[in-house]
Structures are given as C-alpha cells and as structure tokens.
C-alpha cells in the first residue's frame, strides 16, 4: 500500500477531464493536480518550449512526492514523453489522441481529429497516424484559440462556432463518423463541438477521447509496480502556476461535471 499521491499534469484545466476518469476508476487514490495555467496554451508554442515547460512541471510534481505521473495533455506528451520517461524515477503514463478506437469503430466516413496545432504537427502524432489502416480517412485539424476559452470555463453550445468555422468550413457536408477530441481541454467543449458537427456535417459525429483508456493504463501501471493504495481516502489537491482563487472554482466545476 503506497499512500503517496499520483501527479496529474496539464497546461491548464483540460487535464481535469482525465482526473475525473482516474478518480472514478481509482477512488481510493490521492491525487495532486498541477495546471500550468500561467503558461497555457501550450499548443501554439514550439516543441522546445513545450518540452521545457513540461519538464519543469514534472519536476514540481516529483518534488511534491508523487508515486506516478500522468501527462493529461496530448501536446505535452507529443513533445516530451520519451525524454521524461528516461529522466524520471517514477512511472509516467500519458494520453494520446484516440484515433485508433475512432478508426476501428467508426463507419466508412471521415474521422475528424481535433487537437492543438503542436500535437497535429509533431512527429509522435504523425507516427501514430501512419499506423492506422487508412490514414487518409483522418482529417487533422490543429486548432488555435479553443483552449483559452475552455480555461475561462466557457462550455455552452455555440461558444466555439467562430473558431470552428475558420477551420471546418471547407469540409461542410462531409460524413463525419467520428470526432476525436485530441486535446483534453476539448472534452469540456465536447457537447458544443458535437452540436456544431451535427449542424454542418452528415454522419453519426460520435465523440472519442483518450481519457478512459489512459486512466485504465494508470491503474495497470500502479498495480504492476506495487503502487496501489486500496485503503486511501481519495484526496484531491489542486495546484496551479496561475491565479488559484480565480481558477479553483473552475477546477471544482469541471471536476464535478458528470461523466457520460
Ligand atoms: N490540454 C492540452 C492537450 O491535451 C493542451 C492545451 C494547450 O494548448 O495548452 O493537448
């Protein structure tokens, strides 16, 4: 039994969506969440900047005594996962865009993969895409501007229409079987994104994200390393590089948003 907390990291509030799934699956575990809200969004930054910020955040969580680290940020994973795994003494679990289940379970139409500009550009995602049976089915959209709105807690229907129009207008009328939320922030915008797709596209427009699979992987890694805490009390601590008094209410709201 290992009482140390699990560290969950994201550039900001998106990672709270993974924390929700992790808590549901591992209710006895203690968690410390760190959002680098001061430096978000990461998605418009260079690979070097993302690596350096993520590395500093990982050091912060390790100094706080975590027994495992979860990168709840697709962008941070793309730029840093291999280096962090080599550098850190604790196991590192990370999310990546859920294109595999989307490609497997969707029909014959297109799979729209929405992520940050950095995720869609970087080599790690490009390699993942190439492993799909038909990569040409996947339409990769690297969005800019969504994350800042999620950070402000804007999740209502219509809140992202102007940004989505900018990127998706050329595809209107296509059959969208699946939409991959390849940025953890977009999970909180999921309802607004799906409603938008249903207005402008044909097909089922089914949403996919990597949160549940990553939470399950975390459980397996803890078990394999003898790190589970079956007698724990399930404490969650929120820490941020931003303004805690402004962000804590959004963190609480997101954490308590019911899962589908
Ligand atoms: N939530 C992060 C992700 O999953 C990135 C957001 C950002 O641009 O900072 O990619």
Instruction: Using the mean position of ligand 1's atoms as its centre, give its distance from the Cα of residue 232 in Å.
Output: 30
Residue 151 beta carbon below 6 angstroms from any ligand 1 atom: no
| Active-site residue identified among 73, 103, 205, 233 | 73
Q: Tell me, what DSSP letter sits at residue 13? A: G
Q: Are 197 and 141 in contact (CB under 8 A)?
A: no
Q: What is the pTM of this model?
A: 0.97
CATH for 99-208, among 3.40.50.150, 3.40.50.300, 3.40.50.1860, 3.40.50.460?
3.40.50.1860
Where do we find the tokens 């969650």? 236
List the chain domain ranges. Answer: 6-95+211-255, 99-208
pLDDT tens, 68-111? 999 999 999 999 999 999 999 999 999 999 999 999 987 889 99
How do strand 236-240 and strand 176-181 relate by DSSP bridges?
unpaired
Identical topology for domains 6-95+211-255 and 99-208: yes
Q: How far apart are CA 217 and CA 165, in angstroms?
A: 35
Q: What is the pLDDT of residues 176-229, one digit of tens each?
A: 999 999 999 999 999 999 999 999 999 999 999 999 999 999 999 999 999 999
Query: b/e for 157-186, b at 16 or more Cβ within 10 A?
Result: eebbeebbeebbeeeeebebbbbbbbbbbb
Q: Is 185 in the pocket of ligand 1 (CB under 6 A)?
A: yes
User: Ligand 1: which atom is nearest the Cα of residue 75?
Assistant: 10
Q: Would the CB of 40 count as within 6 Å of ligand 1?
A: yes
Instruction: Mention the CATH class of domain 6-95+211-255.
Output: alpha beta
């Amino acid at each position: 039994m290992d009482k140390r907390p699990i560290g969950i990291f994201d550039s900001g509030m998106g990672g709270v969506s993974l924390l929700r799934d992790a808590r549901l699956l591992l209710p006895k575990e203690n968690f410390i969440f760190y959002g680098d809200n001061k430096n978000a969004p990461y998605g418009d930054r260079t690979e070097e900047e993302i690596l350096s910020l993520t590395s500093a955040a990982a050091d912060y969580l390790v100094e706080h005594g975590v027994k495992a680290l979860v990168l709840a940020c697709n962008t941070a994973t793309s730029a840093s996962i291999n280096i962090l795994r080599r550098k850190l003494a604790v196991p590192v679990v990370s999310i990546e865009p859920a294109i595999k289940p989307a490609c497997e379970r969707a029909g014959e139409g297109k799979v729209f993969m929405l992520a940050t500009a950095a995720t869609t550009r970087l080599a790690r995602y490009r390699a993942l895409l190439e492993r799909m049976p038909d990569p040409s089915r996947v339409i990769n959209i690297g969005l800019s501007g969504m994350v800042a709105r999620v950070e402000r807690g804007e999740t209502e229907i219509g809140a992202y229409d102007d940004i989505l129009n900018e990127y998706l207008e050329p595809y209107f009328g296509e059959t969208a079987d699946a939409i991959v939320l390849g940025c953890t922030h977009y999970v909180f915008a999921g309802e607004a994104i799906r409603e938008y797709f249903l207005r402008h596209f044909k097909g089922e427009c089914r949403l996919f994200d990597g949160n549940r699979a990553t939470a399950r992987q975390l459980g397996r890694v803890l078990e394999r390393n003898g790190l589970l805490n079956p007698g724990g009390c399930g404490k969650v601590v929120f820490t941020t590089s931003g303004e805690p008094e402004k962000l804590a209410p959004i963190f609480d709201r997101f954490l308590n948003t019911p899962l589908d």
